C-alpha cells in the first residue's frame, strides 16, 4: 500500500468554489448561498475528508431558513395538489431535464462528491451516472404507472386498481451516496406525482445544495413550480421534523440500523409509511469451482472500494477450505498494491474515511476481532496524520463468525472464514442480523441456482460471479431483516411512492351485492 501526499487546503476550497460555480445554479438555490470560509455567509460548515478541513460555508438569506423545517414541509404540502394534477408523462419531462443537466454537469458534480464524501473520481462519476440512469428509468416509468383491471363477479360492473400520488415524500440520505440515493427517491417520487423534502447528511450539505439547485432549475425550465422540491439542512432535528410530521406521507430513510430503529416505529406511530434502507453485512462465498481471477477482482472492488463505506460493501468472505490457501496470498498481494490517498489523484483506489469517528470505529473493531481470535493478514493501519483519516484496507482471518463479524463497521475490514460444504456456507451467509447483499463465485450451476433460490441467500440482493456492491438501478434495491425491508430504485419500487385505489364501477341498472348477499 502506498500513500500519496495530501493537497493544500486552499487548493481544495478553490476547487469546491469552481466546481460549484460551474453548475450555474446560484439563482435556483435561494435562500442558500455558498462561499468561502470566513466570508460571513453563514453557519453550515462544508468540510472535506481529504484534509479534514473547512472548504467553505453555506448560509441562508434569513436565519429562519436554517431552522424552519415546518415551513419547507408546508410548502411541499401546499404545492402537492397542483403537482399531482400534472399528467404523469409531463411530470416525466422535469426528470428528463434533470437528467440532461446532470449529463452536462457530470464532472463538476462528481468533483463535489469527491470533495465532500472523499470518493475517488471514477466512483464519484459512477455515482452521478447512477443518477442519470435513474432519471432515464423514471422518464420511461412516467408512461407506465400501470394499474390492473380485474374481472368483477357482478354483471355490469367494472373493477380496477389505480395508482395515485401519495403526497409529500421525505428523503433522508447518508453521506456515502450523497447524491445517487436522493436521485433514486426523488426521480421516482416526482414522476409518481409526489413533492419532496430532502434532509441530506449533515456531512454532505454542498452536494445537496447543488442537486437541489439542478432540480429546481429543471422544474423552472419545464414551467413548473420549483417549490415542489424542498431542502432542509440540519442535524437530527431536521430528520425528526420529517419523521414526526403527519403531512409527510412517506419517509424514505437510508442510514444505519440504529437510525432505522428510531425512524420506523415513530413514523408508524402516526400511521405514516416508511421505506428503510439500513445496514448491510454482506458476504461472498468462494466455491471450489470458482474462477479465482474473477473472484479476486470482484472481492477487492467490493471490499476495499469506496474505502469500505457502502451499504453494499463486502464485509465477510466465506471461502471453501480447498481454495482458501490459494486465494488468501493473492488477496493479500492485491491489497498491498492498493494505492491509498488523495481521491482526486489518478491511480488512487482508496480515499479517506469520512471522519475520525469512522477511524475509531475501525480501530475498535480490529481490536475486538483480534481479541476474538482473529489474525490481521494485511492492512488496518492509519496512513498519514492530521485531521484526515486514511487507512489501509484490512483482511482479517477469523476462526469463526464471532461477535464482531456480526456488526456492520463502516470501514474497509474484510473478515475471512473457511467452510466445508455449501449448506454451511449459506448458513453462515444468513446468520447475521442484516440482509442486504450477497454473492457466490462458482462455476457449478447447481450451486449458483441453489444460492439464489428461496433456500439460499436470505438477502435482498443475491449475485453470482460478481461482487456484492455496484448494483444497477434497474433492479429493486434493498434488503431484509435489519436492513429494513424497503425497496428503492428500479423494478416496481415505484409502488412505494403511490397509493393504491380500488374502484368498482356499476354501469348496470341493477344493484347486485357481492358474495351473493341479498338484503331486504
Q: Are 172 and 255 in contact (CB under 8 A)?
A: yes
CA–CA gap between residue 295 and residue 286 (Å, rounded)? 7
> Which is nearer to ligand UN1, 130 or 447 (by Cβ)?
130
> Which is nearer to ligand UN1, 176 or 204 (by Cβ)?
176
**DSSP assigned state of 40:** S
> What minimum distance in Å lies between the beta carbon of 181 and ligand UN1?
6
> Which is nearer to ligand UN1, 342 or 489 (by Cβ)?
489
Choosing from 53, 123, 130, 277, the catalytic residue is 277
> What minimum distance in Å lies between the beta carbon of 260 and ligand UN1?
13
What angle in degrees, to the nearest 10, is found between the helix axes of 121-141 and 88-104? 160
Contact set with ligand UN1 (CB under 6 A): 130, 176-177, 181, 254, 310-312, 469-471
> Which is nearer to ligand UN1, 129 or 506 (by Cβ)?
129
> What minimum distance in Å lies between the beta carbon of 363 and ligand UN1?
22
Q: For the residues of 136-179, what is the DSSP string, one character each?
A: HHHHHHTT----EEE--SSTTEEEEEEEEE-SEEEEE--SSSTT
> Which is nearer to ligand UN1, 340 or 471 (by Cβ)?
471
> Which is nearer to ligand UN1, 76 or 284 (by Cβ)?
284
CA–CA gap between residue 327 and residue 293 (Å, rounded)? 9
Distances (CA, A) of 27 to 34, 228, 239: 12, 16, 26
419-422-428 Cα angle (round to 5): 60
Distances (CA, A) of 110 to 105, 193, 344, 355, 510: 8, 28, 11, 20, 63
Is 346 a residue of the active site?
no
> What minimum distance in Å lies between the beta carbon of 432 and ligand UN1?
17
293's CB contacts (< 8 A; 6+ apart) are none
> What minimum distance in Å lies between the beta carbon of 127 and ligand UN1?
8
Grid cell listed for 359: 477511524
> What minimum distance in Å lies between the beta carbon of 24 and ligand UN1?
27
**Ramachandran category for residue 128: left, alpha or beta (phi over 0 → left; psi -120 to 50 → alpha):** alpha
Give catalytic residues, as residue numbers.
277
Amino acid at each position: 500500500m502506498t500513500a500519496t501526499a495530501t493537497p493544500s487546503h486552499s487548493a481544495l476550497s478553490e476547487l469546491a468554489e469552481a466546481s460549484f460555480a460551474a453548475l450555474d445554479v446560484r439563482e435556483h438555490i435561494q435562500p442558500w448561498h455558498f462561499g468561502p470560509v470566513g466570508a460571513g455567509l453563514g453557519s453550515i460548515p462544508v468540510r472535506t475528508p481529504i484534509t479534514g478541513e473547512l472548504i467553505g460555508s453555506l448560509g441562508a438569506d434569513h436565519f429562519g431558513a436554517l431552522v424552519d423545517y415546518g415551513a419547507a414541509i408546508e410548502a411541499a404540502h401546499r404545492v402537492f395538489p397542483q403537482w399531482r394534477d400534472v399528467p404523469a408523462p409531463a411530470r416525466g419531462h422535469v426528470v428528463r431535464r434533470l437528467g440532461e443537466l446532470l449529463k452536462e454537469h457530470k464532472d463538476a458534480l462528481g468533483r463535489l462528491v469527491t470533495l465532500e464524501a472523499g470518493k475517488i473520481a471514477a466512483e464519484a462519476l459512477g455515482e452521478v451516472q447512477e443518477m442519470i440512469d435513474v432519471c432515464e428509468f423514471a422518464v420511461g416509468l412516467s408512461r407506465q404507472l400501470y394499474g390492473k383491471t380485474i374481472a368483477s363477479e357482478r354483471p355490469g360492473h367494472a373493477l380496477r386498481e389505480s395508482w395515485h400520488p401519495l403526497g409529500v415524500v421525505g428523503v433522508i440520505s447518508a453521506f456515502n451516496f450523497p447524491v445517487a440515493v436522493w436521485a433514486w427517491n426523488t426521480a421516482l417520487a416526482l414522476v409518481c406525482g409526489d413533492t419532496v423534502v430532502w434532509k441530506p447528511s449533515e456531512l454532505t450539505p454542498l452536494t445537496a445544495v447543488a442537486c437541489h439547485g439542478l432540480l429546481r432549475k429543471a422544474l423552472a425550465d419545464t414551467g413548473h413550480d420549483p417549490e415542489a422540491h424542498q431542502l432542509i439542512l440540519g442535524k437530527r432535528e431536521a430528520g425528526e421534523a420529517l419523521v414526526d410530521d403527519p403531512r409527510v406521507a412517506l419517509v424514505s430513510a437510508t442510514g444505519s440500523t440504529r437510525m432505522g430503529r428510531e425512524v420506523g416505529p415513530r413514523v408508524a406511530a402516526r400511521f405514516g409509511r416508511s421505506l428503510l434502507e439500513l445496514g448491510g453485512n454482506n458476504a461472498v462465498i468462494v466455491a471450489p469451482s470458482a474462477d479465482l481471477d474473477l473472484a479476486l477482482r470482484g472481492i477487492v472492488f467490493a471490499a476495499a472500494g469506496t474505502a469500505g463505506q457502502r451499504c453494499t460493501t463486502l464485509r465477510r468472505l466465506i471461502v471453501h477450505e480447498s481454495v482458501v490457501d490459494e486465494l488468501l496470498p493473492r488477496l493479500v498481494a492485491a491489497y498491498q498494491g492498493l494505492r491509498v490517498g488523495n481521491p482526486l489523484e489518478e491511480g488512487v483506489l482508496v480515499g479517506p474515511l469520512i471522519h475520525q469517528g469512522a477511524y475509531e470505529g475501525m480501530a475498535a473493531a480490529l481490536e475486538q476481532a483480534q481479541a476474538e481470535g482473529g489474525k490481521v493478514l494485511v492492512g488496518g493501519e492509519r496512513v498519514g496524520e492530521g485531521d484526515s483519516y486514511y487507512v489501509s484496507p484490512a483482511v482479517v482471518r477469523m476462526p469463526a463468525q464471532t461477535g464482531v463479524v456480526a456488526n456492520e463497521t463502516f470501514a474497509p475490514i474484510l473478515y475471512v472464514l473457511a467452510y466445508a460444504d455449501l449448506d454451511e456456507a449459506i448458513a453462515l451467509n444468513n446468520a447475521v442480523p442484516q440482509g442486504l447483499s450477497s454473492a457466490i463465485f462458482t462455476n457449478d450451476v447447481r450451486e449458483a441456482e441453489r444460492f439464489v433460490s428461496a433456500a439460499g441467500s436470505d438477502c435482498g440482493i443475491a449475485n453470482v460471479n460478481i461482487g456484492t456492491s455496484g448494483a444497477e438501478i434497474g433492479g429493486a434495491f434493498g434488503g431484509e431483516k435489519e436492513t429494513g425491508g424497503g425497496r428503492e430504485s428500479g423494478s416496481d419500487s415505484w409502488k412505494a411512492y403511490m397509493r393504491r385505489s380500488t374502484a368498482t364501477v356499476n354501469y348496470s341498472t341493477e344493484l347486485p351485492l357481492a358474495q351473493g348477499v341479498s338484503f331486504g
